[in-house]
Amino acid sequence: MASAAAKSPTRLEVLSLFRSLLRTAHEFSDYNVREYTKRRTIDGFQSNRSLSDQQSISAAYANGKEQLAIVKRQAVIYSLYAPKVKSIMELKSV
Amino acid sequence: MAARSVLLKHLRVNAKPLPHNINLNSSFGLSFNVVRRLFSEEVRGSFLDKSEVTDRVVAVVKNFQKIDPSKVTPNAHFGNGLGLDSLDTVEIVMALEEEFGFEIPDNEADKINTIGLAVEFIASHPQAK
């Protein structure tokens, strides 16, 4: 992969990608998709936190960037077909 | 010089000093004061009370899975006191954004690493609710 050869991202860039993913995840109107995206983001970053060699860090970062583009696109598409009723998990008091 | 003084004389306007008993204070002054008071109250009202912010921030942090709730105090440090890494800190700041309903810009969010700093930033932000 061409982008894997690029210089590895800084700590702030990684945190910024993490924040962007979480922020975009929050835009999903469907509770299940929203929670899954958040969970998947957190799990992905936690599982890669111990990466040390430059090439795999760059590859993981490039992959994260691609995922962010997908999440952004899907958030728009899902908003066109937003569920009409809320999930029971979203009700504060029942 | 002569031309100037002639010109000035020509331009002179009859100016009467304002009568002292004019009703400035009772009508205009009062309404101005009322407007000013309303405005300042509106501004003050949009900032949250610091103790309320502290309570809500502590509640959000206590809700975080990896944290031992008994360790959370209003001046705890995310990294040293609570044993969180930078990813967890980002998560907490995001949770605070959700709780207070406004967006914390990246460069500010990067600086927040204690509960005290979070409280200070939120209490000084007019959009926090």
Rounded mean pLDDT of B10-35?
A: 58
pLDDT tens digits, one per residue of B64-77 = 888 888 888 888 88
Q: Say what the alpha-carbon torsion angle B66, B70, B73, B79 is, to the nearest 10 degrees.
A: -30
Assess if residue B75 is contained within a domain: yes
Measure the CA–CA gap between A12 and A5, rounded to whole angstroms.
19
Q: Which residue has the tokens 């700041």?
A: B93
What is the domain count for chain B? Answer: 1
Q: What is the CATH number of the domain that holds B88?
A: 1.10.1200.10
- Record: contact A19-B98, CB cut-off 8 A: no
Domain that holds residue B105: 50-123
Residue B95 falls inside a structural domain: yes
For chain B, the residue count is: 129
Answer whether A15 sits within 8 Å of B90, measured CB to CB: yes
Q: Which of B49, B55, B68, B85 is catalytic?
A: B85
Give the residue from chain B lying closest to A46, CA to CA.
B87
Contact A22 B90 (CB under 8 A): yes
pLDDT in tens, B117-126: 999 999 888 8
- Residue B88 annotated among the catalytic residues of the structure: no
Residue A91, pLDDT > 70, answer yes
Q: Minimal Cα–Cα distance from B87 to chain A, Å?
A: 7
The whole-number pLDDT of residue A14 equals: 94
Q: What are phi and psi of B31, to 5 degrees?
A: -65, -35
Residues across chain A: 94
